[in-house]
Structure 1
């Protein structure tokens, strides 16, 4: 009796081929960090829209929604749980004033805000500051300012 199933070596080769093809497709679909995908919008307007959406979520205290805009969300060393534990700062006013610069995969947005940190007994502090953004896989992500005091 003749079997309609492929022989074991043929099935193994077919499986290996499908695995390689899937790996090649995945490799083609993801660009290295910092490089834009061909259809990505890396313009200052795209950065401005992302920054406004991010700060709207922060002001609304929607940390779960804001996480999707954080560069940390793309770093396996960070977790959503850790991000949600940060906090203690509330914002009563946030205004995205405009894009100051875009150079390669780095962007800077000019913002003004009024914030409070009740645990530190800081209330209604007004500040105008540079907000750092970075381009990851063709999308702008909010980037924490690095400080010597707070190393990753």
Structure 2
């Protein structure tokens, strides 16, 4: 003798796969299912594009890569006033770490400070990046001399 199927059981049986499909789609779209390799590749691509713009002195183009560009109180004009460094060579050497929405990228650079008559200095920078709305953005370093934002 078969037991009649209840209305609740029928709804759960038919609705559960649809709900799981919708939720799974949302999770994939939000980037939760992105592999570590894909995440690192996306970050490296953004970092290389950003540093290529900085190297070519295209600060207007680089603005879109900056975390500051997402801050309504920050302006492109103020960003463009910062500077004083010219980059002779820049090489993004790899992702050092990714911790949630924060990351560190190793960047080698040869730079000059024309106003101080300092030329051809070399450094490896631990460059900070932050993921905002699923996209990696460069974190502008605060000056050691002026640690609070102006």
1:38 is the counterpart of 2:30: yes
Question: Where in structure 1 are there 5+ consecutive unaligned residues?
Answer: 1-35
1:75 is aligned, of 71, 78, 84, to: 71
Residues 73-122 of structure 1 show CA distances to partners (whole Å, capped at 9, x for unaligned) of 00112100111111111000100000000001101000100011111221
Q: Which runs of 4+ in 1 moved over 2 A?
A: 39-42, 145-150
What is the aligned length?
A: 117
**Which has more radius of gyration?**
2
CA contact (8 A) 1:59 1:91 kept: yes
CA contact (8 A) 1:135 1:141 kept: yes
SS at match of 1:150: coil
Q: Which residue of 2 aligns with 1:13?
A: none
* TM-score, structure 2 normalization: 0.72
CA distance in 1, matches of 2:29, 2:72: 21
Change (3 A) 1:76 1:132: same
Q: Which residue of 2 aligns with 1:95?
A: 91
Structure with greater contact order relative to length (CA < 8 Å, sep ≥ 6): 1
Q: Which residue of 1 aligns with 2:133?
A: 137
1:53 is aligned, of 49, 70, 74, to: 49
Calculate the aligned-residue CA RMSD, in Å.
1.9
SS at match of 1:43: helix
* TM-score, structure 1 normalization: 0.71
CA distance in 1, matches of 2:143, 2:89: 25
Change (3 A) 1:83 1:147: closer
Q: Which residue of 1 aligns with 2:147?
A: 150
